[in-house]
Amino acid sequence: MQILKTQDRHLSGRIRPDAFNLNPTYDGLVWAHDCNEHWKILRTLCRVEIFSAKSIEAQSDLRNEKLAQLL
């Protein structure tokens, strides 16, 4: 666990697939080259707002509805 605290920047580097180069103006969270301030803000937003337990629980009805549509 200590290595994640000390080497986080090196371990979080991501490889961009060739298909990503079709739209080079888009700089999404997943394909960011480095962990700059923009990346940190987006990561925090996702963790706190989008993927929080409260947010996921609030969307359970929508997930069930979409599942019913698929079946």
Domain boundary assignment for the chain: 2-70
pLDDT at 42: 83
Profile the chain (71 residues) by mean pLDDT over runs of 10 residues. 62 62 59 72 86 90 94 89
CB 21 within 8 A of CB 7: no
pLDDT at 50: 86
Q: What is the pTM of this model?
A: 0.45
CA gap 13, 41 in Å, rounded: 16
pLDDT at 43: 83
CA gap 14, 20 in Å, rounded: 12
CA gap 30, 13 in Å, rounded: 10
